[in-house]
Every structure is written in C-alpha cells, then in structure tokens.
C-alpha cells in the first residue's frame, strides 16, 4: 500500500501548493490513501467546512488537526457531521468530533488513522499514551486493518520520539506535526514502524513557521503586544511523508520525505 501524509497546511499559500500539486502526485505515486494536517489552513488558525471540501476535491481522504482545531468556531457545529475530519483523540469525553477512524483506501483495503496531541508545552489533555493504546487495542495491524497511520501532534521532540517507540510494531507510520519544520530523522524503527519527528509544513518558508516575519520578530524583541499573526503569502513548499507498507504485515517497507516547490530543496521519495 502507498500512503502520503502532508504536513500542517498554513494559510492560502499552503492551500494553493497542496491543491495545485496533489492531483498530479496522487497519479505519479499511485497513492492509495492521503492524510493531511489542516489545523492552520484557514488564515493560519483552524479550518473551515469549505476548506475541508477543497482538500477532499483534490484527493485528500482524511484531515487531522491539533491544538488549533477549534479556532474557527464554525467547526464545532460541523465536525460531528464529517467523519473524515479528526481532532486529537485525547480530548475529554464529550468533546465534539472523533480522534480516530477506519477509512477505505482506493483499492478497498482498510486503514486506521489515529490523531493524538502530546502534553509537553501543550494543552494538558488526557494521557496521550493511554489514549493511543486504547485506540490500537480495537484494531490489529495486518489483520483487521491493512495499515495504521498515527499523527503525533506535539512540541517536544523527546515526547514525539517516545510515542514513536511506544507504538513501534503496532502502526505503519507515526509522524510528528505541529512544529512546522521538517526533521531529517525519517527511519523505520526496529519493530517495523516508519517514523519522523516532524513532517514539516505546507507553507511559505520565508517566514517564522509560516507566519509573516515582522510580527513574530517584534514579539520576541520588544515583549510588547502586537497585531495578530498572519500567514506569509510567498510561494509555499509542500512537505509530506511517503510510505510504502508490506501487504501482509502492514509494517513499513519504505519511508521518505516529499518536498515540492518554494524555498526548501526538492526531494522525491522514490
């Protein structure tokens, strides 16, 4: 099975690089399932129903989010009606939406996607390790589902790596989101799970993690209130992680980054 996970989409430039390139990438790579983190897609803060459908129209199968999931208030009323839009699984019981789902790939096989938010330097949600463990107890890789993808949304590299090793051998791909900077540690762990600490963002890298530079610099240098952060609007780089799985076990056979456009060096995963 061939899967693609696209990093955090930031603002209009991020949406444009995704929508402009994904149909071609889907065909060239013969992708069976596409997952995208869209928590910064609406002006850098949250996502809307309209943007969700823009992504679905170009081939995205599942959208994950993160700590900005509720920034666009309309999503609170919408999320229960869209099973393909996930919020972190470790929100307290009673929170709208869902944190995991089983989705049908283009060849008919089933893929479990789980989305979790970590706690170091983040909102103090329920135990992410216990939440993931509970989600995986209900599905078996290579048995009830052909692949499992875990979006690990977190700030601290240590906590992300700990989660990767915690699920090693139980998921196909554990990939980090949130910090918007692609890391160079993509690998297949000893138990067969593909891992990367952060996939990077789909956004303009002539920026401060996707935001226009002036306001973040002023906040750091002056420690005074400033105007609202706004996404950088230059040419974006599409950052994603490509995965091929073993048809029998569901574990990783090949993992590599994909980068297209913008300022970062291009990288083709094959």
Residues that are catalytic: 68
Token readout for 129 is 């390790």
Residues sharing a CB contact under 8 Å with residue 92, sequence separation 6 or more, in sequence order: 125, 126
- CA distance linking residue 46 with residue 216, whole number of Å: 19
Cα 124 to Cα 62: distance, rounded to the nearest angstrom: 25
Closest CA to 241 of 198, 204, 205, 210: 198
Q: Are the beta carbons of 245 and 220 closer than 8 angstroms? A: no
Nearest one of 179, 173, 164 to 257, comparing CA atoms = 173
- A 10 A CB-CB count for 14 gives 29
Long-range contacts of 156-161 (CB under 8 A, 24+ apart): 156/118, 156/120, 156/121, 157/183, 157/197, 157/198, 158/120, 159/118, 159/119, 159/120, 160/118, 160/197, 160/198, 161/195, 161/197
Q: What is the dihedral of CA 245, 257, 118, 192, to 10 degrees?
A: 30
Q: What is the DSSP letter of 209?
A: T
């Amino acid at each position: 099975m061939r899967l693609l996970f696209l990093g955090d989409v930031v603002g209009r430039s991020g949406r444009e690089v995704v929508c402009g390139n994904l149909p071609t990438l889907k065909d060239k790579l013969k992708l069976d399932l596409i997952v995208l983190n869209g928590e910064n897609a609406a002006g850098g803060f949250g996502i809307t129903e309209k943007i969700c459908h823009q992504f679905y129209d170009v081939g995205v199968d599942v959208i994950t989010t993160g700590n900005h999931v509720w920034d666009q208030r309309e999503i609170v009323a919408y999320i229960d009606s869209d099973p393909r839009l996930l919020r972190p699984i470790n929100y307290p019981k009673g929170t709208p939406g869902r944190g995991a789902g089983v989705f049908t790939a283009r060849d008919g096989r089933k893929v479990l996607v789980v989305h979790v938010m970590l706690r170091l330097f983040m909102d103090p949600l329920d135990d992410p390790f216990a939440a993931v463990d509970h989600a995986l107890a209900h599905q078996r890789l290579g048995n009830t589902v052909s692949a499992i993808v875990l979006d690990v949304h977190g700030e601290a590299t240590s906590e992300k790596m700990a989660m990767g090793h915690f699920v090693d051998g139980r998921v196909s791909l554990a990939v980090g989101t949130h910090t918007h900077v692609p890391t160079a540690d993509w690998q297949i762990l000893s138990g067969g799970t593909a891992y990367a600490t952060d996939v990077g963002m789909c956004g303009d890298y002539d920026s401060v993690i996707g935001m226009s530079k002036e306001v973040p610099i002023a906040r750091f240098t002056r420690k005074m209130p400033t105007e609202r952060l706004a996404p950088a609007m230059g040419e974006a780089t599409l950052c994603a992680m490509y995965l091929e799985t073993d048809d029998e076990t569901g574990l990783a056979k090949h993992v590599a980054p994909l980068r297209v456009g913008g300022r970062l060096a291009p990288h083709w995963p094959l």
